[in-house]
């Protein structure tokens, strides 16, 4: 299995209040999985633990059969940079760097920026951003900025992509376009993608949909990965 959670609990506060309550599930290599539920259901908290950005209070999180809680910090940082891509509701582009430099940031950290430069340009062209590679983030629209963030997440050819409400700050046309990019990336690269969404239509686009209610899994639904109703230019 690509990702496995075993009886994961997350508690906050004193006295501790459980936000995630004994959750277990597995994600296979190459799956496209959505985490959905009402606000406060714990879906973002669960994603952060599944992606190693937060530790569970108890239980285990395994990536490629490695218990991430047992990994040394340097090894974990290296694993994240080389094998994981992260996308959030806000793009978090560095304002003083160009679009191309932002895409290359994980490669810069890994010391392979020159080797990855042509690939970064290809990604930007694939996402119809080739003309913007020398722009600063302030010169981009919201949809363009999010596509840059996706390209940045893909530059190291990760095994995993974790996305937290990646369409939450976008209008409907841009949101559909971003979801189509995720579908295409999953289909063409085999990258395992786990994403949080509150949108029922976008949740249903995944291979499987995990519904959380009050910190527990209410249901896991297998979907026929659907296409959004209409694609529009950003």
In 3D, which of 222, 175, 223 has the Cα closest to residue 197?
175
Average pLDDT of adjacent 10-residue blocks, the chain of 234 residues: 90 93 95 94 95 93 88 88 90 96 94 96 92 96 92 93 91 88 91 94 94 95 64 39
Q: Domain containing 62 — which CATH number? A: 3.40.50.300
- Answer whether residue 44 is part of any domain: yes
pLDDT of residue 1: 55
Report pLDDT for 232. 37
- Decide if 19 is inside a domain: yes
In the prediction, which pLDDT does 221 show?
A: 92
228 inside domain = no
Picking from 63, 54, 60, 103, the residue whose alpha carbon sits closest to that of residue 83 is 63
**Residue 234 falls inside a structural domain:** no
Say what the pLDDT of residue 229 is: 47
Residue 231 lies in a domain: no
Continuous segment of H or E residues that includes residue 35: strand 32-36
Please tell me the total count of domains within the chain. Answer: 1
With a threshold of 0.85, does the pTM exceed it?
A: yes
Q: Does 45 map to a domain?
A: yes
Rounded (5°) CA angle 93-99-101: 90
Phi, psi of 231 (to 5 degrees): -105, 135
The answer to whether position 144 is within a domain reads yes
The pLDDT of residue 231: 41
Enclosing domain of residue 175: 3-222
pLDDT of residue 234: 40
**229 belongs to a structural domain:** no
pLDDT at 233: 38
| C-beta neighbour count of 173 within 10 angstroms | 14
User: Which residues, in sequence order, are bridge partners of residue 160?
Assistant: 84, 192
Distances, alpha carbon 72 to alpha carbons 54, 77, 111, 157, 215, in Å: 14, 9, 21, 23, 29
Tell me, what's the pLDDT at 225?
56
Structure tokens at 133: 């590679």
């Amino acid at each position: 299995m690509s990702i496995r959670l075993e009886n994961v609990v997350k508690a906050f506060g004193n006295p501790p209040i459980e936000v995630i309550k004994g959750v277990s599930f597995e994600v296979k290599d190459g799956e496209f999985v959505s985490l959905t539920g009402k606000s406060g259901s714990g879906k973002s908290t669960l994603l952060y633990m599944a992606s190693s950005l937060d530790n569970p209070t108890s239980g285990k999180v395994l990536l490629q059969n490695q218990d991430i809680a047992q990994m040394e910090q340097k090894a974990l940082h290296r694993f994240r940079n080389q094998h994981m891509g992260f996308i959030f509701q806000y793009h978090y582009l560095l304002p003083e760097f160009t679009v191309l430099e932002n895409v290359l940031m994980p490669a810069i950290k890994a010391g392979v920026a020159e080797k990855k430069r042509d690939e970064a340009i290809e990604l930007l062209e694939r996402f119809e951003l080739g003309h913007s590679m020398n722009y600063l983030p302030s010169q981009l629209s919201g949809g363009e900025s999010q596509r840059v963030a996706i390209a940045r997440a893909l530059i190291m050819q990760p095994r995993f992509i974790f996305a937290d409400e990646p369409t939450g700050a976008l209008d409907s046309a841009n949101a559909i376009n971003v979801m189509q990019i995720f579908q295409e990336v999953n289909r063409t690269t085999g990258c395992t993608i786990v994403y949080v969404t509150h949108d029922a239509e976008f949740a249903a686009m995944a291979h499987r949909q995990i519904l959380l209610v009050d910190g527990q899994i209410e249901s896991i639904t297998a979907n026929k990965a659907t296409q959004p109703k209409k694609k529009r230019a950003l």
